[in-house]
C-alpha cells in the first residue's frame, strides 16, 4: 500500500468522518489483535480506525487519527472520538472484572448504586437473558459473558440517552 499523501489521484481534502472504532474494544491481548493499516499513508498497526468518506471517492477509507485530521481538516472531532472510545474500552474492561452474585434461584445479579442488574436463564431455550432495572432485554445470549457485555452496552445506551 502506497502513501497517497505523495501522490495525485486520491483527494487530500474534503473528507467527512463517518465513524471511529477500536480494534481492541474487547480488551483482547496484543497478539490476538488484528490491527489495521492506514489506507492513506500506509502506516501499520492502527488501533483506532477512523472511517472517512469523500463525495468523489466510491469507497470509504479506513485511516489513522493523524490522517483523518488532515483529510477532514478537523483537528477536534477525530481526536475527541478516539478519546471517548479509549474511555469506553477501559470502562468495558473494568466491567468485565465485576463480580456478579448468584441468587438462590440461580440467577446472576449485580447491584450498582441504585440500579439492579439481572441475568437469568431462559430454560426453554437454554439461553441467557438480561434485565436492567425494570427493562427486560429482548435478545438472548449463548453464554454468560455475552449477557454481561449486553448489560454493559445497555447501560452505555441509557447513559447516552440521559436515562441512567
Ligand atoms: Zn495514515
| 46 Cα: distance to centroid of ligand 1 (angstroms) | 8
Between CA 48 and CA 25 the distance in angstroms is: 9
The verdict on 28 and 72 lying in the same domain is yes
Which cell goes with 162?
440521559
| 71 Cα: distance to centroid of ligand 1 (angstroms) | 10
Domain end, chosen from 62, 87, 112, is at 87
pLDDT given for residue 83 in this prediction: 95
- The answer, as to whether pTM is greater than 0.85, is no
| 55 Cα: distance to centroid of ligand 1 (angstroms) | 20
Domain end, chosen from 87, 114, 146, is at 87
The verdict on 79 and 110 lying in the same domain is no
Task: List, as ranges, residues with CB under 5 A of the ion ligand 1.
Answer: 38, 40-41, 43, 63-64, 67
| 86 Cα: distance to centroid of ligand 1 (angstroms) | 19
Q: Cβ(70)–Cβ(80) under 8 Å?
A: no
| 156 Cα: distance to centroid of ligand 1 (angstroms) | 30
pLDDT given for residue 26 in this prediction: 73
Domain end, chosen from 54, 87, 120, is at 87
Burial 64-94 (b: 16+ CB within 10 A, else e): bbebbbbbbeeeeebbebbeebeeebeebee
From residue 84, how far is each of 21, 46, 101 by CA, in Å? 10, 17, 30
- Domains in the chain, number: 2
pLDDT given for residue 1 in this prediction: 56
Between CA 24 and CA 90 the distance in angstroms is: 11
pLDDT given for residue 29 in this prediction: 82
The verdict on 83 and 114 lying in the same domain is no
| 148 Cα: distance to centroid of ligand 1 (angstroms) | 35
92 located within any domain: no
Q: Which residues of the chain have pLDDT under 70?
A: 1
pLDDT given for residue 8 in this prediction: 84
| 41 Cα: distance to centroid of ligand 1 (angstroms) | 4
Quote the domain boundaries for residue 139: 101-161
pLDDT given for residue 28 in this prediction: 77
Amino acid at each position: 500500500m502506497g502513501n497517497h499523501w505523495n501522490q495525485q489521484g486520491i483527494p487530500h481534502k474534503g473528507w467527512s468522518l463517518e465513524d471511529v472504532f477500536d480494534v481492541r474494544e474487547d480488551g483482547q491481548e496484543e497478539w490476538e489483535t488484528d490491527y489495521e493499516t492506514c489506507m492513506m499513508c500506509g502506516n501499520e498497526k492502527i488501533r483506532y480506525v477512523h472511517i472517512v468518506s469523500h463525495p468523489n471517492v466510491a469507497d470509504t477509507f479506513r485511516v489513522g487519527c493523524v490522517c483523518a485530521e488532515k483529510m477532514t481538516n478537523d483537528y477536534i472531532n477525530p481526536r475527541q472520538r478516539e478519546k471517548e472510545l479509549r474511555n469506553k474500552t477501559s470502562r468495558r474492561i473494568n466491567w468485565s472484572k465485576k463480580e456478579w452474585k448468584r441468587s438462590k434461584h440461580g440467577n446472576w445479579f449485580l447491584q450498582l448504586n441504585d440500579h439492579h442488574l439481572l441475568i437469568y436463564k431462559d430454560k426453554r431455550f437454554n439461553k441467557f437473558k438480561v434485565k436492567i432495572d425494570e427493562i427486560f432485554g429482548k435478545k438472548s445470549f449463548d453464554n454468560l459473558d455475552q449477557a454481561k457485555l449486553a448489560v454493559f452496552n445497555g447501560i452505555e445506551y441509557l447513559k447516552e440517552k440521559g436515562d441512567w
